[in-house]
Chains A and B, each alone.
Chain A
Amino acid sequence: MTDIVANTTIRPAGGAAALLRHARYVIGENPVTGLSFGLFLLIVIAAMVGPWIVPYSPLASDTGAALKPPSLAHLFGTDQLGRDIFSRVVVATRLDFIIAVLSVALVFLMGGLAGVAAGFFGGWTDRIVSRIADTIMAFPLFVLAMGIVAALGNTVQNIILATAIINFPLYARVARAEANIRRDAGFVEAARLSGNSEWRILAFHILPNVFPILVVQMSLTMGYAILNAAGLSFIGLGVRPPTPEWGIMVAEGAANIISGEWWIAFFPGAALMIAVFCFNLLGDGLRDIVDPRRRT
């Protein structure tokens, strides 16, 4: 097992063409992955240039045009204050995307490094990291996130931090397992014999090999991160009105659902759903490319 895994490591630079060919094969075989790559680009573009391309200001209210159903003037209709929902949904992409990316990047650093150290050094490092991961896993994760935001204060930064913390066990465990099986692999022994210090081996020999697997983990948890953050802002944590954000927009439209104005909650909710769906498919696709062993 050790040999097989140790050999399926990052490809040398000469294999870039082969990797590209493999990527094209995976995408060609599964058109859904291609579609999700397209959607991902669209989300990134909306996040980057959203505020400059929307027809209305996301904050401008126009009481004369309140609660209008979708039309050509207002593609997604307007809300109680006459704000254009299409503009708000597009502009919100940036905030939701930033929350998801930052929280995933944060847990990538915390969980990835802690897990690699635990798997490589073993002993007390391992015991402490595993105990922390187990304790986090003892909570229903969304509930723990609520508790963290309540204790630290109701801000967007703390939403990002809480989302990172509840994902910590996933990253720490994957990184730990991957570092652990490489701990005594041939190339590590060789590095050790040529006089590298343990920390140097960890940084230049173990980390680069665990890196691609953690990147896959990032894309797999990105959808969950965005869902979690939107859930927290739906119950009124973090993002404050009138800031456009998908979760809080659904909450704002919730009361109008029972009087029939479906569009206020529907479009931000659908945007959220599509984004999460896209991230999940992308994660699966990326896993197939980087790490075909885990394909299901």
Chain B
Amino acid sequence: MLANVLRRLVTVIPTLIGVVIVTFLLTRVLPGDPAVYFAGPTATPESIAEVRKSLGLDQPLPEQFARYVGDLAHGNLGNSLATGRPVLAELTSRLPASAELTLFGLVISMLIAIPLGILAAVKQGSWIDHTCRVVATAGVSLPVFFTGLLLVYVFYFRLGWAPAPLGRLDVFYDAPPTVTGFYLIDSLLAGNFELFRASLGQLILPGVTLALFSLAPIARMTRASMLTVMASDYIRTARASGLSPFTVVVTYAFRNAMLPVITTLGMVFSFLLGANVLVEKVFAWPGIGSFAVEALIASDYAPVQGFVLTMAVMYVALNLLIDILYGVVDPRVRLEA
């Protein structure tokens, strides 16, 4: 088991090298001179040359790349022009907000999509099956920023059930003492249930928005995979042995049908991490996505590059985690490897 995990870790290395090369190319080689940009609007040719020298841009490309990798190894992603703080510090302080939102969205989405997919497969051709198909097609067509705004209009403005879409907590509350950085968990650890309710209230609308978006691939995959499994011989045998339909579906079929669904999660995460940026903008969520969007509008390069790199590394790590999980769930993968 450990050997397998290690072997899988090694395969991540070329991917990470590719990611670093791409983020490097995005900063250096493409049109636009970073030296002119960093020297500011009032720069003279001499000051531009000065900046070019201090940034190491007069060096040949391979040396610039070595310098870039060296900086990365020291955790140096440059400074944000807007706040003056190191990009790494900005990103780490905002990461928990984004992570809490993304995971919450994923959990809601799986809680709805998996039962829906199972029911659609078990009762094939029924109204549940048709609902599943409509949801799967409509879900991928919805612009995530638009659904977010619709939900805000209905649940905040019309019904008044949801709090104002302005960040993680209402201004009346103070953030719980930081343990995990997740307000839901930290408020429970502090024993403050009112705070828990308040942060859950803020989290529900953006979470549901993300869930609606990622529902479709999970539901579609669960249905397809359940259909394949339900048609297999061992299910027929289990049925013929007189097991209750519930046992057959849940214990025998579901556990095997989950494998392709776990694989789909990789793609779902790609969607979710991208959609996260848009949802954070709609709900003024103080995560790394809205940080990157602000930097992008202000042409503040270092935070954007740091953001793209962080997201890519997280995505590679998530895919690795999914692969390892797959090996844990499916013993055949372990034997083959």
Contacts and interface: CB of A to CB of B under 8 A. Distances in A.
Nearest to B152: A257
Interface residues of A, number: 49
A296 B26 contact: no
A272 interface: yes
Contact of B316 (A138, A151, A270): A138
A257 B274 contact: no
A237 B296 contact: yes
A135 B22 contact: yes
Interface string B268-297: 011101110110011000000000110011
Interface stretch (A77-85, A117-125, A193-201, A259-267): A259-267
Given A139-B19, A277-B138, A269 B274 contact: no
Contacts of B26: 147-148, 150-151
A16 B145 CA distance: 43
A96 B5 CA distance: 45
A131 B18 contact: yes
Given A236-B296, A260-B157, A139 B311 contact: yes
Contact of B278 (A141, A235, A259): A235
A235 B292 CA distance: 10
Interface stretch (B50-58, B63-71, B182-190, B300-308): B300-308
A134 B149 contact: no
Interface string B50-91: 000000000000000000000000000000000000000000
Interface in B122-164: 137-138, 140-146, 149-150, 152-153, 156-157, 164
A225 interface: no
A191 interface: no
A67 interface: no
B240 interface: no
A193 B236 CA distance: 52
A251 B146 CA distance: 9
Nearest to B318: A140
B251 to A, nearest CB: 27
Among the interface residues B15, B22, B165, which one has the most CB atoms of the partner chain A within 10 A? B22
A237 B297 CA distance: 8
Chain B CB count within 10 A is highest, among A131, A134, A265, for A265
Given A236-B296, A237-B296, A273 B143 contact: yes
A254 B294 CA distance: 16
A295 to B, nearest CB: 12
A153 interface: yes
B149 A265 contact: yes
B23 interface: yes
A237 to B, nearest CB: 7
A251 B14 CA distance: 39
A231 interface: yes
A134 B22 CA distance: 12
A40 to B, nearest CB: 14
13 contacts: A134-B18, A139-B19, A142-B278, A146-B277, A146-B308, A147-B26, A151-B26, A151-B30, A152-B32, A227-B141, A250-B146, A258-B153, A269-B146
Given A224-B140, A276-B142, 19 more contacts: A140-B270, A142-B274, A147-B307, A150-B296, A152-B32, A153-B31, A223-B141, A234-B145, A235-B297, A236-B296, A250-B145, A254-B149, A258-B156, A262-B153, A269-B145, A269-B150, A277-B137, A277-B141, A280-B140
